[in-house]
A = this chain, B = another copy of it.
Amino acid sequence: MSYSNLEFHEVRLSEEGVLHVEINRPDRLNAMNEPCWTEYGKIFAQAARDSDVRAVVVNGVGRAFCAGLDVVDSAQGFAERQQMDTARAGLKLGEHIRDFQLALHQAHLINKPVIGVAHGPCIGLGIDLLTTFDVRFAAKDALFSVREIVIGMAADIGTLQRLPKIVGSLGWVKDVCFSGRNFQVDEAIAQGFIQRAYDSRDDAVNAALEYAKELCKFSPVAMWGTKRSINYAIDHTTLLKER
Protein backbone atom coordinates (compact mmCIF):
# COMPACT_ATOMS: atom_id res chain seq x y z
CA MET A 1 0.00 0.00 0.00
CA SER A 2 1.03 3.59 -0.50
CA TYR A 3 0.79 6.57 1.83
CA SER A 4 1.76 9.30 -0.66
CA ASN A 5 -0.31 12.03 -2.31
CA LEU A 6 -1.54 13.26 1.04
CA GLU A 7 -2.47 16.90 1.51
CA PHE A 8 -2.30 17.38 5.26
CA HIS A 9 0.04 14.65 6.47
CA GLU A 10 3.51 13.35 5.83
CA VAL A 11 3.66 9.58 6.22
CA ARG A 12 6.62 7.16 6.01
CA LEU A 13 6.78 3.44 6.60
CA SER A 14 10.09 2.11 7.95
CA GLU A 15 11.39 -1.28 6.93
CA GLU A 16 10.81 -2.60 10.45
CA GLY A 17 7.12 -1.68 10.16
CA VAL A 18 6.85 1.70 11.94
CA LEU A 19 4.35 3.99 10.22
CA HIS A 20 5.37 7.56 11.01
CA VAL A 21 2.39 9.91 10.64
CA GLU A 22 3.12 13.63 10.87
CA ILE A 23 0.29 16.16 10.90
CA ASN A 24 1.53 18.73 8.47
CA ARG A 25 -0.27 22.07 8.55
CA PRO A 26 2.44 24.04 10.37
CA ASP A 27 1.10 27.44 9.23
CA ARG A 28 -2.16 26.68 11.06
CA LEU A 29 -0.36 25.12 14.04
CA ASN A 30 -1.85 21.82 12.80
CA ALA A 31 -5.40 22.93 13.53
CA MET A 32 -7.68 20.51 11.70
CA ASN A 33 -10.58 21.13 9.34
CA GLU A 34 -12.87 18.48 7.87
CA PRO A 35 -10.69 17.55 4.87
CA CYS A 36 -7.75 17.22 7.25
CA TRP A 37 -9.38 14.87 9.77
CA THR A 38 -11.00 12.92 6.94
CA GLU A 39 -7.53 12.27 5.51
CA TYR A 40 -6.23 11.46 8.98
CA GLY A 41 -8.94 8.84 9.48
CA LYS A 42 -8.25 7.28 6.09
CA ILE A 43 -4.56 6.84 6.83
CA PHE A 44 -5.42 4.74 9.88
CA ALA A 45 -8.16 2.80 8.06
CA GLN A 46 -5.63 1.89 5.39
CA ALA A 47 -2.91 1.04 7.91
CA ALA A 48 -5.31 -1.23 9.81
CA ARG A 49 -5.41 -3.58 6.82
CA ASP A 50 -1.74 -3.20 5.90
CA SER A 51 0.16 -6.11 7.42
CA ASP A 52 3.46 -4.31 6.74
CA VAL A 53 2.54 -1.79 9.42
CA ARG A 54 3.29 -3.10 12.92
CA ALA A 55 3.30 0.12 14.96
CA VAL A 56 2.37 3.78 14.45
CA VAL A 57 3.94 7.02 15.68
CA VAL A 58 1.96 10.28 15.44
CA ASN A 59 3.34 13.79 15.91
CA GLY A 60 3.00 17.29 14.49
CA VAL A 61 5.21 19.31 12.13
CA GLY A 62 6.25 22.81 13.19
CA ARG A 63 5.72 24.74 16.42
CA ALA A 64 2.72 22.83 17.76
CA PHE A 65 1.38 19.33 18.02
CA CYS A 66 -2.13 20.62 17.32
CA ALA A 67 -3.63 23.95 18.32
CA GLY A 68 -7.25 22.85 17.97
CA LEU A 69 -10.12 22.96 15.58
CA ASP A 70 -9.87 25.05 12.43
CA VAL A 71 -12.51 27.62 13.28
CA VAL A 72 -13.01 28.99 9.77
CA ASP A 73 -14.17 25.58 8.63
CA SER A 74 -16.50 25.13 11.59
CA ALA A 75 -18.03 28.52 11.00
CA GLN A 76 -19.01 27.48 7.50
CA GLY A 77 -20.89 24.38 8.65
CA PHE A 78 -22.47 26.50 11.34
CA ALA A 79 -23.76 28.98 8.77
CA GLU A 80 -25.30 26.18 6.71
CA ARG A 81 -27.10 24.74 9.71
CA GLN A 82 -28.44 28.20 10.55
CA GLN A 83 -30.66 27.87 7.46
CA MET A 84 -32.32 24.69 8.73
CA ASP A 85 -35.00 24.16 11.37
CA THR A 86 -33.65 23.17 14.79
CA ALA A 87 -34.42 19.44 14.57
CA ARG A 88 -32.76 18.95 11.17
CA ALA A 89 -29.80 21.13 12.15
CA GLY A 90 -29.37 19.03 15.29
CA LEU A 91 -29.40 15.75 13.35
CA LYS A 92 -26.99 17.20 10.79
CA LEU A 93 -24.63 18.41 13.50
CA GLY A 94 -24.86 15.07 15.30
CA GLU A 95 -23.90 13.27 12.09
CA HIS A 96 -21.00 15.67 11.52
CA ILE A 97 -19.70 15.21 15.09
CA ARG A 98 -19.96 11.45 14.82
CA ASP A 99 -17.93 11.40 11.59
CA PHE A 100 -15.38 13.64 13.30
CA GLN A 101 -15.21 11.43 16.43
CA LEU A 102 -14.87 8.31 14.28
CA ALA A 103 -11.99 9.73 12.23
CA LEU A 104 -9.95 10.49 15.34
CA HIS A 105 -11.01 7.27 17.02
CA GLN A 106 -9.24 5.20 14.37
CA ALA A 107 -6.03 5.42 16.42
CA HIS A 108 -7.84 3.74 19.30
CA LEU A 109 -9.47 1.14 17.07
CA ILE A 110 -6.48 0.21 14.95
CA ASN A 111 -5.00 -3.25 15.52
CA LYS A 112 -1.46 -1.97 16.19
CA PRO A 113 0.13 0.04 18.99
CA VAL A 114 0.08 3.82 18.51
CA ILE A 115 2.61 6.13 20.18
CA GLY A 116 1.82 9.85 20.20
CA VAL A 117 4.31 12.66 20.72
CA ALA A 118 3.14 15.97 22.21
CA HIS A 119 5.09 19.20 21.80
CA GLY A 120 4.34 22.92 21.91
CA PRO A 121 0.66 23.88 22.06
CA CYS A 122 -1.67 20.89 22.50
CA ILE A 123 -4.98 22.66 22.75
CA GLY A 124 -8.58 21.47 22.48
CA LEU A 125 -8.59 19.06 19.56
CA GLY A 126 -4.91 18.41 20.35
CA ILE A 127 -6.03 16.78 23.62
CA ASP A 128 -8.81 14.86 21.85
CA LEU A 129 -6.11 13.40 19.60
CA LEU A 130 -3.70 12.59 22.43
CA THR A 131 -6.35 10.68 24.36
CA THR A 132 -6.78 8.30 21.41
CA PHE A 133 -3.18 7.06 21.48
CA ASP A 134 -2.00 4.05 23.45
CA VAL A 135 1.19 5.57 24.89
CA ARG A 136 2.05 9.28 25.03
CA PHE A 137 5.56 10.80 24.95
CA ALA A 138 6.14 14.57 25.21
CA ALA A 139 8.71 17.28 24.70
CA LYS A 140 9.33 19.54 27.68
CA ASP A 141 7.85 22.55 25.88
CA ALA A 142 4.45 20.90 25.52
CA LEU A 143 1.59 23.04 26.83
CA PHE A 144 -1.74 21.34 27.37
CA SER A 145 -5.24 22.79 27.68
CA VAL A 146 -8.74 21.35 27.43
CA ARG A 147 -9.74 24.76 26.14
CA GLU A 148 -13.29 24.11 24.87
CA ILE A 149 -15.12 25.43 27.94
CA VAL A 150 -13.52 28.84 27.42
CA ILE A 151 -15.25 29.23 24.06
CA GLY A 152 -18.56 27.88 25.32
CA MET A 153 -18.26 24.32 24.09
CA ALA A 154 -17.98 20.83 25.59
CA ALA A 155 -14.88 18.83 24.57
CA ASP A 156 -17.09 16.25 22.93
CA ILE A 157 -14.80 15.02 20.14
CA GLY A 158 -13.36 12.50 22.59
CA THR A 159 -11.59 14.15 25.53
CA LEU A 160 -14.57 14.01 27.88
CA GLN A 161 -15.23 10.38 26.94
CA ARG A 162 -11.64 9.16 27.18
CA LEU A 163 -9.70 11.30 29.64
CA PRO A 164 -11.63 9.92 32.68
CA LYS A 165 -10.67 6.41 31.55
CA ILE A 166 -6.95 6.96 30.93
CA VAL A 167 -5.88 8.79 34.10
CA GLY A 168 -6.72 7.96 37.68
CA SER A 169 -7.85 11.18 39.35
CA LEU A 170 -11.37 12.21 38.36
CA GLY A 171 -11.01 15.43 40.36
CA TRP A 172 -8.02 16.41 38.23
CA VAL A 173 -9.94 15.61 35.03
CA LYS A 174 -12.81 17.82 36.14
CA ASP A 175 -10.45 20.57 37.26
CA VAL A 176 -8.75 20.84 33.84
CA CYS A 177 -11.99 20.38 31.87
CA PHE A 178 -14.02 22.85 34.00
CA SER A 179 -11.37 25.56 34.15
CA GLY A 180 -9.70 25.21 30.75
CA ARG A 181 -6.42 26.06 32.49
CA ASN A 182 -3.00 25.27 31.03
CA PHE A 183 -0.86 22.46 32.42
CA GLN A 184 2.66 21.35 31.64
CA VAL A 185 4.61 18.15 31.23
CA ASP A 186 5.52 17.62 34.89
CA GLU A 187 1.87 17.72 35.91
CA ALA A 188 0.89 15.56 32.95
CA ILE A 189 3.41 12.91 33.99
CA ALA A 190 2.39 13.03 37.66
CA GLN A 191 -1.23 12.46 36.65
CA GLY A 192 -0.32 9.53 34.36
CA PHE A 193 -1.41 11.33 31.18
CA ILE A 194 2.11 11.45 29.65
CA GLN A 195 4.43 8.46 30.01
CA ARG A 196 7.84 9.96 29.17
CA ALA A 197 9.30 13.43 28.68
CA TYR A 198 12.27 14.54 26.51
CA ASP A 199 14.19 17.77 26.09
CA SER A 200 12.96 18.60 22.62
CA ARG A 201 10.42 17.59 20.01
CA ASP A 202 13.13 15.85 17.98
CA ASP A 203 14.35 13.84 20.96
CA ALA A 204 10.80 12.79 21.78
CA VAL A 205 9.99 11.80 18.19
CA ASN A 206 13.20 9.80 17.90
CA ALA A 207 12.52 8.04 21.19
CA ALA A 208 9.02 7.20 20.02
CA LEU A 209 10.28 5.82 16.71
CA GLU A 210 12.86 3.74 18.56
CA TYR A 211 10.26 2.48 21.05
CA ALA A 212 7.88 1.59 18.20
CA LYS A 213 10.68 -0.24 16.40
CA GLU A 214 11.14 -2.46 19.44
CA LEU A 215 7.42 -3.29 19.49
CA CYS A 216 7.67 -4.38 15.83
CA LYS A 217 9.78 -7.33 16.94
CA PHE A 218 6.89 -8.93 18.79
CA SER A 219 4.11 -11.07 17.31
CA PRO A 220 1.51 -8.75 15.72
CA VAL A 221 -1.19 -11.25 16.68
CA ALA A 222 -0.17 -11.14 20.35
CA MET A 223 0.16 -7.34 20.18
CA TRP A 224 -3.35 -6.96 18.78
CA GLY A 225 -4.73 -9.37 21.39
CA THR A 226 -3.02 -7.32 24.10
CA LYS A 227 -4.30 -3.94 22.89
CA ARG A 228 -7.80 -5.25 22.28
CA SER A 229 -8.02 -6.89 25.72
CA ILE A 230 -6.92 -3.74 27.53
CA ASN A 231 -9.25 -1.51 25.53
CA TYR A 232 -12.09 -3.91 26.21
CA ALA A 233 -11.34 -4.05 29.93
CA ILE A 234 -11.55 -0.30 30.54
CA ASP A 235 -15.00 -0.19 29.07
CA HIS A 236 -16.70 -3.44 30.04
CA THR A 237 -17.55 -5.74 32.89
CA THR A 238 -14.73 -8.25 32.63
CA LEU A 239 -14.43 -9.76 36.05
CA LEU A 240 -16.16 -12.98 36.93
CA LYS A 241 -18.95 -12.59 39.44
CA GLU A 242 -18.17 -12.47 43.13
CA ARG A 243 -19.78 -15.27 45.11
Contacts and interface: CB of A to CB of B under 8 A. Distances in A.
Interface of A: 48-49, 86-88, 91, 95, 98, 101-102, 105, 108-111, 113, 134-136, 148-150, 152-156, 160-175, 177-180, 191-195, 211, 214-215, 218-219, 221-243
Contacts of A228: 242
Contacts of A172: 192, 195
A109 B240 contact: yes
Contacts of A154: 222, 225-226, 229
A229 B163 CA distance: 11
A222 B134 CA distance: 28
B192 A171 contact: yes
Contact of A171 (B153, B175, B195, B240): B195
Contacts of A223: 149, 178
A241 B241 contact: yes
B239 A237 contact: no
A136 B205 CA distance: 36
Nearest to A237: B235
A86 B242 CA distance: 21
Nearest to A193: B171
A165 B170 contact: yes
A167 B164 contact: no
A25 to B, nearest CB: 26
A165 B233 contact: yes
Contact of A135 (B162, B165, B175): B175
A88 B228 CA distance: 15
Interface hub of A87, A178, A211, A235 (most chain B Cβ within 10 A): A178
A113 B195 CA distance: 29
A168 B155 contact: no
Given A109-B241, A111-B242, A163-B230, 19 more contacts: A48-B243, A91-B221, A105-B239, A108-B240, A109-B240, A109-B242, A110-B243, A135-B178, A149-B218, A149-B219, A149-B222, A165-B234, A169-B193, A171-B194, A174-B227, A174-B230, A177-B230, A178-B215, A179-B214
Contact of A215 (B105, B179, B195): B179
